[in-house]
Structure 1
């Protein structure tokens, strides 16, 4: 067998994620755009998002985001609305937790919006207390 002469595999080729430390300018919505919270991951680059105008839309994650920006359930995203399809949109930006809280401070988001608090929408943790003994079973 030939001797390996390379200096690493695919993880080395990808490089380090250097854009985490870079502080970017806060982007506000414009005409034809809407803030939304991802409610469900559908697969194949599609998500279900609850927009701030109380409309559920199917949103497509554009190609530049597919493997570079990971979008999960509960994330705040900026959608570009489609003129020809009201129930579909395109994800053009994902907000970090700091940016989402800044948007809430500026009054861009409704007050009842839950943003990146580590909990999945619709699921709340409840304590379950069972009183039984091993002998009862």
Structure 2
């Protein structure tokens, strides 16, 4: 019978979320970095993000965050490292928690037009922006005719 050489199953690979409750120091952008919001996940450790400077970039999620930090479209703010040789590609360095994103906006790092959608599970969707005005009001007379 073969000897087991592994160190555990899939539960070991998932790891433990020990750092979720801890407060961490707020990290601001430096030269060669930019704030962005995830537009959509593409799979294979990649996503499409809209940077604050107005450029849409294809971003690669670094290995330290892969399968440990989950991204949703429009859910929050990430810090991306820009590439010198490819302007349309970047690397996701850090995902900010919702309270950290609010602090960044309060400090003036993010423009006021940035939408922080922490509570909306679907995130940003262009078709749903005017969804609140899509209802029709009926009068009592209209209901009687139906």
**Mapped partners of 1:83, 1:32: distance in 2:** 8
Question: Counterpart of 1:39?
Answer: 39
Once the two structures are TM-superposed, the CA of residue 109 in structure 1 deviates from its matched residue by 0.4
Equivalent pair of 2:14/2:68 in contact (CA under 8 Å): no
Compute the TM-score of the two structures, normalised by the length of structure 1.
0.81
Classify the secondary structure of the residue corresponding to 1:99.
Answer: helix
> Kindly tell me: are residues 48 and 97 of structure 1, through their superposed partners in 2, closer, same or farther at Cα, counting changes over 3 Å?
same
Classify the secondary structure of the residue corresponding to 1:93.
Answer: strand
Classify the secondary structure of the residue corresponding to 2:27.
Answer: coil
Aligned length, in residue pairs: 126
Question: Counterpart of 1:110?
Answer: 111
Compute the TM-score of the two structures, normalised by the length of structure 2.
0.76
Question: Counterpart of 1:64?
Answer: 64
Large movers: runs of 4+ above 6 Å = 130-133
Show the 5 A alignment for 1:1-137. Answer: 10-11=10-11, 14=14, 16-74=16-74, 75-119=76-120, 120-121=123-124, 122=126, 123-124=128-129, 125-126=131-132, 127-129=134-136
**Mapped partners of 2:15, 2:49: distance in 1:** 31
1:39-92 deviation per Cα after TM superposition (whole angstroms, max 9, x unaligned): 111111111101000010010101111111111111210000001000000000
Equivalent pair of 2:14/2:67 in contact (CA under 8 Å): no
1:84-133 deviation per Cα after TM superposition (whole angstroms, max 9, x unaligned): 00000000000010000000000000110001333322233435448698
Gaps of 5+ in 1: 1-8
Question: Counterpart of 1:3?
Answer: none
